[in-house]
Structure 1
């Protein structure tokens, strides 16, 4: 595969690449660069965690990258997820692995790394201290939004370590491409600044879009706070469709979702079709009675979007089609967990955990 094709595969899902020229140079000089995404194990998986991550990962693997999925157990611990219980956090991490398998991720083609293993040695903490010497307290505080915290929110000392640890991860894993969400931008940009100061390898950042919750855009004082408040969250059942939801639950949640007629901006259902459903399905079919135009099938997002914005597709009909499309993708995941005793046991454990933030 030539360089331009590799770059385009990433551009197809990345909302931002810092920088595209550097990404191109990586592929020109390295057949198998190292990329990663990281996760706090902290609850039941929503659809973006399973479906969107699997789609983006498949595109990344086509480029020849060596991909690391990072289970950030100690990050969840300092961020008070699951009450700060490391046992529960690690059980949730094992459950995350089963979600990825259920979504078709071949775990033999990637590397799964735990923070507890990456941090086990003086070399990691030597890097952390070297990085911290280059970062002011004010700069560190600005980066704490990567934890899903607002600027100015009261934090523990442990949480103040979080940005420095995340930047350390990047260098400890020898990352070439940070392939995380837009909500992690501050950490990746900080890592690039640190690389310049310490003359370490400078990572490229390829940030994917953050999927909004069912409630739509939640306007806040800043763009970053709006992003955090609006995103689909594991800890907020009202905002999320989960990978275990039944067809009836999916239909109920979608029917109650924010979906303004003839409006694209801030419409979560159009967003799901663009970033998730059309990435996995060849078509989305909308079932309608004949007296309301009859059933209609869309082959791509632009077709669906245009009909919706013209008013030719009613929000109620769109909701039925989106629910049906999600059911096609989620049903195999439910079946995987029903058939696998290990996966089922992990899910049953995690669903009983008390979600904290």
Structure 2
């Protein structure tokens, strides 16, 4: 086994977490409150580099530098619809990003968007099912190693109800200041198209998501590129109301689906994604069937999985193969990995085998948690019975 996949003590790699800025184990109890954390000891420039590494795009970089220079504990936000089993991008990718941001001194607020999932007809609009899925998702993040010391999970339905006098006037003001066409252009945030026959609730959704940013007092919107339009709406709203400090947008790249032509993974298509509790054999089967054209990196999901999931987790991507096929090699940069793949020095079969090994090591603690914890096991069994609705 390559050294990158061993624990510091040489023990079982399945129980290992990357140290430093990777996935450290947490000691905070799971809950919806704020957790105490020690002050960040990094310099402003180190904090900037760490935060900036999370995003494929940052709007605007000078604003991020200024924020980190003047605010020791910025607030980052992401919202998620509890809509089914968690795939690896949301599970591992989000944990990596959150751990970087909290290591940089940020507090991360997760908006558990149960009302939003209901508006978007997830779980057939059944709020109790949606809330059950929300609890399952928090269990996944806890078991994969997200550091919860600076993390808050906030229920949208509970928080909005408790502060309705703040929330709804804000939503209405955003709606009043924007045309219907501008709001409809944000439909991508719900996994919809502008040409879809949208329900009235889905027209309201973008105005509410825009309001969330200000309601949660977020300094940084740390969501995927698919949420960019509504984050830009929030910045436009600041211009409209002459608010000087705008929310900074730090958008991570989307992980594509495993099959050809899939720009993103789909929970309704189990073959398009690896889920956080998939068995070792399911991971192997899905990656074996995945689209991986030789000497092509553009649109190749296996290359994306390597540099967005496995490489940042292990601080490298290790390939094991016989000497006659090139011997063992560990890649530490995306550029190095892509160069070998483009030249043919790295074969698709070797790439896939390394992905299978690395991903199965990452997911093993999650499998163990849902197998050995009776409450977590019951929660997963319940979620698996739910029908995923679009």
Q: Which band: TM-score by shorter chain?
A: over 0.9
- Per-residue Cα deviation, 1:238-278 (whole angstroms, up to 9, x for no partner): 21001111111111100111101111111111111111111
Residue matched to 1:337: 370
Q: Contact conserved, 1:54 with 1:100, CA < 8 A, in 2?
A: yes
Pairing partner for 2:354 from 303, 321, 334: 321
Secondary structure at the counterpart of residue 231 of structure 1: coil
Query: Where do 1:1-357 residues align within 5 Å?
Result: 1-120=42-161, 121-200=164-243, 201-218=245-262, 230-357=263-390
Range moving further from structure 2, 209-218 or 289-298: 289-298
By how many angstroms is 1:292 displaced? 3.3
Give me the TM-score of the superposition, normalised by structure 1. 0.93
> Residues 154-205 of structure 1: CA distance to partner in whole angstroms, max 9, x if unpaired?
0110111100000111111111100111000011000011112123442111
Deviation of residue 49 (structure 1)?
A: 0.9
- Measured in 1, the distance between the counterparts of 2:376 and 2:229 equals 34
Structure 2 CA distance for aligned equivalents of residues 72 and 181 of structure 1:
15
User: CA offsets per residue over residues 208-237 of structure 1, 9 Å max, x none?
Assistant: 10110101434xxxxxxxxxxx10122221
Segment of structure 1 superposing worse, 190-199 or 247-256:
190-199
Backbone CA RMSD of aligned residues: 1.4
Deviation at 1:289, TM superposition (A): 4.1
Q: Could you tell me how far apart the structure 1 residues matched to 2:101 and 2:215 are?
A: 21
Shift of 1:304: 2.5
Residues 118 and 172, structure 1, Cα contact 8 Å, conserved in 2: no
Q: Secondary structure at the match of 2:267?
A: coil
CA distance in 2: counterparts of 1:3 and 1:284, whole angstroms: 30
SS in 1 for 2:128: helix
Structure 1 residue 344: deviation in Å? 1.2
Answer whether contact 2:96 2:146 (CA < 8 A) is retained: no
Instruction: Give the Cα separation in 2 of the matches to 1:274 and 1:287.
Output: 17
Greater mean deviation of Cα atoms: 100-109 or 152-161: 100-109
Aligned partners of 1:341, 1:248: CA distance in 2, in Å? 23
Q: Distance in 2 between matches of 1:326 and 1:332?
A: 11
Show structure 1 runs of 5+ residues with no match: 219-229
**In 2, distance between residues paired with 1:282 and 1:257?**
24
What SS class does the counterpart of residue 178 from structure 2 fall into?
Answer: coil
Distance 1:204 1:303 in 2: 31
Q: CA deviation at 1:44?
A: 0.5
Aligned to 2:7: none
Give the aligned partner of residue 14 of structure 2: none
Q: Structure 2 stretches of 5 or more lacking a match?
A: 1-41
Name the SS for the 2:84 alignment partner.
coil
Q: Normalising by structure 2, report the TM-score.
A: 0.86
The DSSP-based 3-state class of the residue aligned with 1:153 is: coil
SS at match of 2:108: strand
